[in-house]
A and B are shown apart, each in its own frame.
Chain A
């Protein structure tokens, strides 16, 4: 850890000269402090994981792996199963990604490639303000503004246009899986946009100039030079957004209908892991009920980790060659 005897007698640390026999302890202190901080975070994650496991032991012992496949959630009969919630979490997050990623990347492209410099900063500020709105406020806006509009206009229109697909059949209540997905999309839009913007900004101008030199149009430049180069980063932005989408609670529970049922239709109500825990935790009366909710928390953490690992694997295989280097 300390320099060898061959080093000069006076060392330089951040522009200040320190005699080697003088103040060496700031270095050591800093190293230990940084190590402690990293260990604390790791310890916190381990503690959360252990608490979740400890709390769900009763449910794991009673239900085993059946818990993940069972669709019954019956607090009266003390029968619990996580499958409708896992389905709801995955589907609503997927819908959110499908809406937010194209929208976010397009906005980022607009901000970096097309928008005049003067209007870039106001738009960036507006998007960041979207991120500052609390989840509950989104939920309230969803109930009073979004849901009526969806029920009376968008969903009816979708059913007329695409009603032949099983995705768009069935009665329209307003509160639905699709509404949940839409509201989560709005919530992850700022993070996807900001990160994509940073990634796109980091694409060297040399790439763009090279494409122009080859006779590419503006869109071709964006497609060939910018997006291909930035593919990995944009993918990373999507994964970040997905991570937030999986855990979103308050806004989702207000618009998703809270019905633990699996349906082919996007207009049917659904339920997510985070929503059911938030809804039922305070009134869980029996120990098994309590433990099952803990196990749902464990499942949520496991699903988030699994999805992130899968995303990293896909990142490695798909976008592996997009470093933009000239071969």
Chain B
């Protein structure tokens, strides 16, 4: 009798817990994971009936999972290729959430503030410019005494959205880079050492005198790394910051399907090496209840959630892009 009572109590407890919360699963990119985690946490106070579960397994994983519909939404740092998008069983939409910058960090005596432009950066990463006091670099930095030292090039060894943004930028400023190497989350680097994740690259740069490497802006700020000002297409040297990235996003060309690149945009104050991250959701949601909750969350994210982006060192979407995204969200059917 006691056993039966205990079992009944336990099962009622379990069912009440289960019926109280709906679970929505997502997986994908690690770059936006901090802000997504914050959003899910803040949203649980807005609507306690739904809980989100996000796994940072990488953009490739996120794309695969949403294509096989094992998760309710995916997340990716790079837009899905046409080839992959064709595999989707129904219309799959890209929804940009936040943007981030890729900055060039370096290890030089005295931590001077460097100015670099795209052509020089491409030459360094192609292995053509090999010394710090090369005239191309010295010409842009007349106030800095550059040492006669070999440039130690550092890049990412693991596949990453940061690499995608960086190589996208180099492809747009250097036709040689575009032909020889191209852009992807992982490429065949002509030269340089590979560090694993932002921490690996930053660690390698900090430890090697004369090194240069690319990391996310958020990471560079948090770890107080020196980073360079980059020349944008208007000819101005821009310091990477949350505002200069939002400026870049405001002037980027964004097609209807939201798969776009925002490197080297035309804006006056735009920082040239930046990229956005996307959520991947189906236009027609399979589950009515889950779809409804997901759409409500997305609406909240683009009105209230975006305000939290700057605190975590991400760039929120500018107003014109936000409006377009909200229109797209309104079209999601469930």
Contacts and interface: CB of A to CB of B under 8 A. Distances in A.
Interface stretch (A47-55, A109-117, A276-284): A276-284
Interface stretch (A20-28, A125-133, A254-262): A254-262
B193 A254 contact: no
Interface in B62-110: 63, 78, 81, 83-84
Contact of A285 (B60, B158, B192, B193): B60
B188 A72 contact: yes
Contacts of B160: 283
A175 interface: yes
B285 interface: no
Contacts of B184: 75-76, 285
A271 B200 CA distance: 15
B159 interface: yes
Given A174-B208, A285-B63, A254 B186 contact: no
B193 A75 contact: no
Contacts of A75: 159, 184-188
B52 to A, nearest CB: 21
Contact of B159 (A173, A254, A275, A282): A282
A173 B57 contact: no
Given A76-B184, A173-B208, A284 B196 contact: no
Given A174-B208, A280-B159, A285 B185 contact: yes
Contacts of B185: 75, 283, 285
Nearest to B87: A287
A258 B193 contact: yes
Interface in B193-237: 193-196, 200, 203-204, 207-208
B239 interface: no
Query: Would you call the interface of chain B mostly helix, strand, loop, or mixed?
Result: loop
A269 interface: yes
A244 to B, nearest CB: 21
Given A77-B182, A253-B157, A283-B159, A259 B60 contact: no
A258 B157 contact: yes
Contacts of B186: 75, 280, 283-284
B188 A74 contact: yes
- Range of interface residues on chain B? 35 or more
Contacts of A253: 157, 196
A254 B200 contact: yes
Contacts of A278: 158
A73 interface: yes
B152 interface: yes
B318 interface: no
B244 to A, nearest CB: 27
A284 B158 CA distance: 10
A143 interface: yes
Given A284-B159, A286-B81, A279 B196 contact: yes
Nearest to A139: B196
Given A76-B182, A258-B195, A280-B159, A173 B187 contact: no
Contacts of B115: none
Contacts of B63: 285
Given A143-B203, A285-B81, A76 B208 contact: no
A44 B189 CA distance: 38
Contacts of A72: 188
Contacts of B183: 76
Contacts of A283: 58-61, 158-160, 185-186
A296 to B, nearest CB: 13
Nearest to A176: B193
17 contacts: A75-B186, A77-B188, A147-B207, A151-B208, A173-B193, A253-B196, A257-B193, A258-B194, A258-B195, A258-B196, A282-B158, A282-B159, A283-B60, A283-B159, A283-B185, A283-B186, A284-B159
Given A73-B188, A280-B186, 15 more contacts: A72-B188, A74-B187, A76-B187, A77-B188, A171-B150, A254-B200, A258-B157, A258-B193, A258-B196, A271-B194, A278-B158, A279-B196, A283-B59, A283-B61, A285-B84
Interface of B: 57-61, 63, 78, 81, 83-84, 150, 152, 157-160, 181-189, 192-196, 200, 203-204, 207-208
Interface of A: 72-77, 143-144, 147-148, 151, 171, 173-175, 253-254, 257-259, 269, 271, 275, 278-280, 282-286, 290
| Those 7 A-B pairs whose CB atoms lie nearest each other, nearest first | A283-B159, A258-B194, A282-B58, A76-B182, A258-B157, A74-B188, A279-B158
